[in-house]
Amino acid sequence: MESKRLILDFGNTYQKCALVDEKGIRLKAYQNITLEDVQDFIGGENIRSAILSSVINFDNRIKDMLQRNYFFIELNAATPLPIVNDYDTPETLGKDRLSAAVGAYSLFSGQNVLSVDCGTAIKYDLVNKDGHYLGGGISPGLWLRFKALHTFTDKLPLVSYNPGAALIGTDTVSSIESGVMNGAAAEINGIIDSYKAKFANLNIVLTGGEMIYFEKSIKSNIFAEPNLVIIGLNKILEFNERD
């Protein structure tokens, strides 16, 4: 039986389990993951190694099980990487940002690449052609923008996604839709243009749960990869297996 890598990515909204081999990625997402969920997902698969990246508190029995049974690493600021991390404060760098950057560079090795992760926050992360992670930016995602307008004003309603939002809103709801949807798209296009002015032949990789709202509005040629963080974690694990 062909061996696989087990990738665990525990975020605030979803916790993801993935099995990766030469044939691709098999993934499942959970909202409140348990040890039993992980064991059921693994089943009888032949696992050669595992990596865990988490921004939440989780059942320590999961980690204990992985350490007992596999070559295992938990991603942290000291984990060896297949890129050079030039971030001034690596201990504060989000694991999802770092993993997305590694994943993007693995897709465009030896080239300048910008990952744009459209999730709860919109995160921009740049790796140059020499494989150095330089940093990036963070701004509110779509849902945060909608929620902030409602929460921090007395009369604005809570509005939700409208990918076909008109440029000119003709009432309060459509005005909010325009401001949030078109404003975020304009921001992303503007940020990408600014990066392109600094880095030649820049590749753009789009990912994240809200990327579906931007795929058609981004003017640059992009490579959309919903599993970019999983790909990055797999590359980090692969890199450490060789040590």
Q: Indicate the SS3 state at residue 190.
A: helix
Same domain, 110 and 217: yes
- Which residues are identified as catalytic? 96
Report the domain count for the chain: 2
pLDDT, position 173:
97
Query: What is the average pLDDT across 64-87?
Result: 96
The percent of residues above 70 in pLDDT, for the chain, comes to 99
In this structure, the answer to whether residues 132 and 233 fall within a common structural domain is: yes
CA distances (Å), 205 to each of 41, 58, 76, 107, 172, in order? 29, 30, 24, 9, 34
Question: Same domain for 142 and 52?
Answer: no
Domain range holding 60? 1-74
Alpha helix ranges (H) inside the chain: 35-42, 60-69, 95-107, 142-151, 172-177, 183-198, 228-241
pTM beyond 0.75: the answer is yes
Which of 152, 163, 154, 159 has the alpha carbon at shortest distance from 173? 159
Same domain, 55 and 127: no
Query: What pLDDT score does 95 carry?
Result: 95
Asked whether residue 86 falls in the same domain as residue 206, the answer is yes
So what's the pLDDT on residue 216? 87
Average pLDDT, the chain: 95
Same domain for 127 and 56: no
Tell me: do 133 and 231 sit in the same domain: yes
Does residue 111 carry a pLDDT above 60? Answer: yes
- Which of these three, 56, 74, 92, is where a domain ends? 74
Over the stretch 24-68, which tens digit does the pLDDT of each residue have?
999 999 999 999 999 999 999 999 999 999 988 898 999 999 999
Summarize pLDDT for 173-220 with one digit per residue, the tens: 999 999 999 999 999 999 999 999 999 999 999 999 999 999 888 988
Question: Tokens for 8?
Answer: 């665990």
SS3 letters for 108-175?
CCCCCEEEEEECCEEEEEEECCCCEEEEEEEEECHHHHHHHHHHCCCCCCCCCCCCCCCCCCCCHHHH
| Confidence band of 242 (pLDDT split at 50, 70, 90) | low
pLDDT at position 243 over 60: no
What's the pLDDT score for residue 15?
Answer: 94
CATH number, domain with residue 69: 3.30.420.40
Mean pLDDT, residues 88-97 taken together: 95
